[in-house]
Amino acid sequence: MLKVLKKKTNFYLIVLLIRILNQDKEEMLYSFIVSQNNNIPRIKLILERLSKKFGDKKRFLDIDFYSFPKSEIMAKYDIKSFTELGLGYRDTYIERLSKSIANGFEIEKLNVLDTERLKTELLKIYGVGPKVADCVLLFGFHRSNSFPVDTWIEKVYKENLNGKLTDRKKISQFLADKYGENAGYFQQYMFYYKRSLENGKK
């Protein structure tokens, strides 16, 4: 009994230590669109290229860096400018999103919607699918009842929870319903647990 209690206590301590950053909604939308079918090093490289080309140069502690670009700046450029950054098929998504925001689409105003309606609105954006929408909900709008499903979460669901569903949208809904308002925290715990475990085997 004490061992079980200790394990549960350690688990809840880990969950409490997880912090889901409440990051800029617009930046999160661009970032997760770039992340589609992409690996972390390449995502980082593309975002750095975007910032260097369209962002403002800053300096902090004698280190130069570039701020994430404003949509109004990116909207002035054509598709070729985005293609040159190695965005692949995502170039059209980023170009159209920047022009949409520059023409008056206000992401911040979506914050008044409940999570379900907010996700519906995000899915209307060209280039945004269920996983991107869930990620933006969780990290941009801080909706902790969202549960993004990627390769790692799908592995947890099938290998650790013995899940039988094969559609990621259904897996996401199942896990969101299962963990409720704390779903996003459980998602982060599961993601890092599985990723760390797999990487530790190599």
List per-residue pLDDT tens for the chain, 202 residues long. 333 333 444 444 444 444 555 678 999 999 999 999 888 899 999 999 999 999 998 888 888 888 999 999 999 999 999 999 999 999 999 999 999 999 999 999 999 999 999 999 999 999 999 999 999 999 999 999 999 999 999 999 999 999 999 999 999 999 999 999 999 989 988 998 888 877 765 5
- Please state the separation of Cα 199 from the chain's center in Å: 21
How many of the other CB atoms lie within 10 Å of CB of 42? 13
Paired tokens of 139? 């990290």
* pLDDT given at position 21: 59
Q: Where does 18-39 have alpha helices with state H?
A: 25-34
* pLDDT given at position 6: 39
141: Cα within 13 Å, side-chain hemisphere:
26
How many of the other CB atoms lie within 10 Å of CB of 136? 29
Enter the pTM of the model. Answer: 0.82
Strand partners of residue 58: 65
* pLDDT given at position 12: 44
Which distant-in-sequence residues (6+ apart) come within 8 Å of 142 by Cβ? Answer: 20, 22
Phi/psi class of residue 129: alpha, beta or left (left: φ > 0; alpha: ψ in -120 to 50)? Answer: beta
* pLDDT given at position 5: 33
* pLDDT given at position 22: 61
